[in-house]
Structures are given as structure tokens and as C-alpha cells.
Structure 1
Amino acid sequence: MTQELVLYQFPACPFCQRVLRQIEQLDLDIELRDTRRDPEARQELQQGGGRTMVPCLRITKDDGSVEWMYESEDINRFLVSRYGNRG
């Protein structure tokens, strides 16, 4: 995998569930951080992404740069475009 992915979410969030279903369909191993139960995860999200809205996918690229992607549709589109044709 060329990028490290972390999904900030919480289980009761319906938009998070959409992303979690997509992750399962693509059989991806992505670290999950529950922002409701883990204050450190919530703080990371606020400091890194600028807001605490979930779902949020943190994408750490090979060059060390980090992108924070919000919105379940955008996240799912990204996951399918990157990992949907893995054979």
C-alpha cells in the first residue's frame, strides 16, 4: 500500500457506516479511531483536519504529506478509485 489510511469515526454515525461498508466491500485494512470514545483521536482530528466532523479519512502519502478528507461520498469515491480494481 502506498498510503497510510486512518478513518476517524464513531459507530452510531450513519455516514460513518456508509464508509465502513465500503471498506468491508473492498476488503481493506484501515485503522479506525473512535472520536466519541477516544479523546486523543478527537484532538488529532481537530488539530490535523481543523474540525471534529466524522467521517474523516486521514491520508498520509509517501512523501509524508497528510490530506484530511471529509464527507462519506468523497471518501468512498476515493477508496473505490484507489483500491477498487485490486484483482
Structure 2
Amino acid sequence: MAAKAGGREDVRGLALYGYPQCPYCRRVLGAIEALDLDVPLRNTMQESERRRELVEATGRGQVPVLRIESADGDVEWMPESEDIVRYLEERFGER
């Protein structure tokens, strides 16, 4: 589940780790949809490999977490739905 593609190439390094039934994940998914972004959802409830990736990277399985990979390959893991929504709005919102 991801929002429809908005033709933005600058979302390529993003992936949301979580699952649709999680209320905090739904908050982030709503922001992704409102911003018309195509950020893939890595479903940690249905895909055990995705959950393993999350735990290995962050030390815990709490969701949502936004994986942000920069053009140079550096990876940042951003937890907390409010922080993720704020980041997406600041980066992709109307200017």
C-alpha cells in the first residue's frame, strides 16, 4: 500500500516500515497520500524479512519508521509518526 505516484523522483530513497492496521502508521500513510507521494510500505506484519531489517537497524520493532536513503547511500531511520509527517510535509509540501 502506497500513495499514487506523483511523478516525484526525489522519493526514491524512502520506505515506510509498518502495517496498515497500526493507527500511527495510518497517520503517516494519510500524509503520504495527501502529499501524493509514492512511498512503498514495507509491511512488518506480513513480511518477516522486513521486520528483521527493522529490528537489526533500529534495535526494536516499533512502527512506523521511515527509512531514508540519501543519494550517497547513507541510511537514516526515522521513528515516530509525528516526526515522519513533519519531515514529509517540510520536504514535499507546498512551498
Q: Are positions 1:68 and 2:77 aligned together?
A: yes
Percent identity over the alignment? Answer: 53
Q: Which of residues 18, 37, 62 in structure 2 aligns to 1:28?
A: 37
- Corresponding pairs, count: 86
- Tell me, what secondary structure is at the counterpart of 2:31? helix
TM-score (norm 1): 0.93
| Structure 2: gaps spanning 5 or more residues | 1-9
Deviation at 1:3, TM superposition (A): 5.3
1:51 to 52, 60, 72: 60
Contact 2:14 2:39 in 1 (8 A): yes
Structure 1, unmatched stretches of 5+, are: none
C-alpha deviations, 1:16-71, integer Å up to 9, x for none? 00000000000000011110110000001011122111000000011111000000
Please provide the CA RMSD for this pair. Answer: 1.3
Q: Which moved more, 1:54-63 or 1:1-10?
A: 1-10
What is the alpha-carbon distance in structure 2 between the residues aligned to residue 63 and residue 34 of structure 1?
Answer: 26
Q: 2:16 aligns with which of 4, 7, 31?
A: 7
Aligned to 1:40: 49
For the 8 Å contact 2:15–2:68, the answer to whether it is kept is yes
